[in-house]
Structure 1
Amino acid sequence: MFEIHTLRLGELLIPQGDSFLRDPIHAWFVTDGNVRILVDSGMPDAADLKLRLRIDGQGGGHASLAQALAAAGTTPEAIDMVIATHLHFDHAWNLDLFPRACVLVQRDEMFHAVDPVATQRIYYFRETLIGLLNRKRPSELRLVDGDETLMEGLSLLKAPGHTPGMQVPVVTTARGKVALVSDLGDHYRYWYPADPRATDKPMRFMAGSFLPGAIRSEGERAYVASMARVKAAADIVVPAHDFRIPRRLPADWFELPASTEDDLGHLVPAAKR
């Protein structure tokens, strides 16, 4: 059985008119006491992102990731495997911290990083792709084709939607199966669009369905089909950009947060940045 530690790596402030949307950046450390796995590797340092994209933020980079891993009781050097859910800059940076680890990414995601849909060109950084291509040995990089069982209690589901090569790790814990859904639906509102615990703007007509994300490479039907398939394979989902996700699983276990009270991803006035 595995334990999952949520790693808070930083925060972006996405411009929304005269205000900003707070966007937390997460990764996950997964371990059974023997194997040590990192799911996603976070974003560049906030100062670097400011220069690249003119986006404000805090944290990120090598230091934040190393500190978060230390708080979870491990080090970059101890990581055996890094699962990249996809290769956007806020999920697949800092891979150079893990020269000993094997990076797993869907083959279709590598292709999409080379030739992304036009709306996603800004999200793929050249250095990420070059770093992966420099991993020449099978022990350094493995391209995954579709679903795969990696070991007992850990599998990958290919889930095109946010990107063509999106993959979702499904992790077995003592209390059930957890899907680390990353950006397939990066906030609880996408998984439970009719539930007032998930969103302060519930859409009752969407009860029993899913809301596809705004940033997507696939059509709505294909996107929702991926979400439904992932949801059916797990007991709970953990999205990447919601402030309310569990901090440690299975100890901190819930399908939905109790309310939207701690959903801090709201607009904040520019004067209070």
Structure 2
Amino acid sequence: MSDWEVHAVKYADRNARVRGDSFIFDDNHDAPHAMDYFIWVLRQGSRVILVDTGYDAEEAASRDRPIRMDPRAALAPLGIAPEAVEQVIVTHLHYDHAGGLHLFPNARLHLQAAEMAYATGPCMCHDVLRMPFTAGHVCEAVQRLYSGRLTFYEGDGEVAEGVTVHCIGGHSRGLQCVRVRTKAGWLVLASDAAHYYENVFKRKPFPIVVDLQNMLDGFTRLETLASARGLIVPGHDPLVRRLFPQGPADHIVRLDTGPQDEKLLTEILS
């Protein structure tokens, strides 16, 4: 089978943040630290797998976290019609990753069993753990389950030839990363197993965490899964758009060719 194309599609950003929002331990905690929000597209010929869905305008208004474009519009330059999407890998059920499940009504979901158990279990009695979830998004996943359109994984699993998922946990109990075979080698979409390059390469944990040891161990796992450290793609880092070449629109970058800015890559990895 041929390799996969991989695109990172930015649909939102949040600039009113500081480093203390991104790292538990940081000496410069009040310095500005922007965040980008992505969905990812895997393509092999006519076959498309979506990784996460973003969130819509209703969720944006509810949380006062505006989006720059609806996820469906963000995907349009890649020629993807929402109703034609048949497979969605859900890295975890936080609002910014599963908030658009209803926008892709015909898709089968691929989710870790541990994530469903976490999002519907007693941990959600705690406000601080429940905060990143929205009940309607979790209910949408449950509805897909009851309609026979949800596949569960227990740890490692294969979604398609050349596409595997791996449970990391840490940030959320059933958080999974996605490993994709590309012409540049095995690329790892970390999602929120590493929000930023600095999380994984400096071993600096993100503050929203259910299991700190799993998060820290997960940084090493990401490096083990990728063919090269530069092929780990964090879930929210604006540097991704500088490191990889632009795609068919300003908000899309292509990842499967590998990083293009060698100077920036050296800085990131050092």
Bin for the TM-score computed over the shorter chain: 0.7 to 0.9
* CA deviation string 1:98-153 (max 9, x = no partner): 12210111111011112336322111100011111112233x21222211022221
Structure 2: which 5+ residue stretches go unaligned? 21-29, 245-252
Identity %: 28
Match of 1:29 in 2: 41
Which one of the candidate residues 58, 64, 70 is aligned to 2:67?
58
Aligned to 1:42: 54
| 1:204 match | none
Residues 8-59 of structure 1 deviation map (CA, whole Å, 9 limit, x = unaligned): 11123556699975321101010111321000100232x6434x33x34332
Offset of 1:242 from its aligned partner?
0.8
**Corresponding residue number in structure 1 for 2:120:** 114
**Residue matched to 1:100:** 106
- Deviation of the 1:73 alpha carbon: 2.2
TM-score, normalised by the number of residues in structure 1: 0.78
Structure with greater helix share of residues: 2
Q: TM-score, normalised by structure 2?
A: 0.79
- SS of 2:38's equivalent in the other structure is strand
- 1:198 maps to none
Equivalent in the alignment of 2:147: 137
2:155 corresponds to which residue?
Answer: 146
Match of 1:71 among 49, 69, 77: 77
Number of residue equivalences: 238
Tell me, what secondary structure is at the counterpart of 1:91?
Answer: helix
- SS at 1:143's partner residue? strand
> Which amino acid is 2:117 matched to?
F
Q: Secondary structure at the match of 1:28?
A: strand
Structure 2 counterpart of 1:249, from 247, 251, 255: 255
Is residue 170–residue 218 contact of structure 2 (8 Å, CA) maintained in 1?
A: yes
Stretch of structure 1 that moved more, 97-106 or 163-172? 97-106
Distance of aligned partners of 1:137 and 1:68 in 2 relative to their CA distance in 1, 3 Å threshold: same
| Cα distance, 1:225–1:156 mapped onto 2, change above 3 Å | same
Q: Distance in 1 between matches of 2:104 and 2:130?
A: 25
Farther off after superposition, 88-97 or 114-123? 114-123
Q: Is the 8 A contact 1:157 1:230 kept in 2?
A: no
CA RMSD in angstroms comes to: 2.6
1:1-273 alignment, distance < 5 Å: 1-14=3-16, 22-45=34-57, 48-50=59-61, 52-53=62-63, 55-59=64-68, 64-115=70-121, 116=123, 118=126, 119-135=128-144, 136-138=146-148, 140-193=149-202, 210-220=203-213, 222-235=214-227, 236-245=231-240, 246=244, 247-253=253-259, 258=264
Shift of 1:229: 1.4
Which structure has the highest strand share of the two? 1
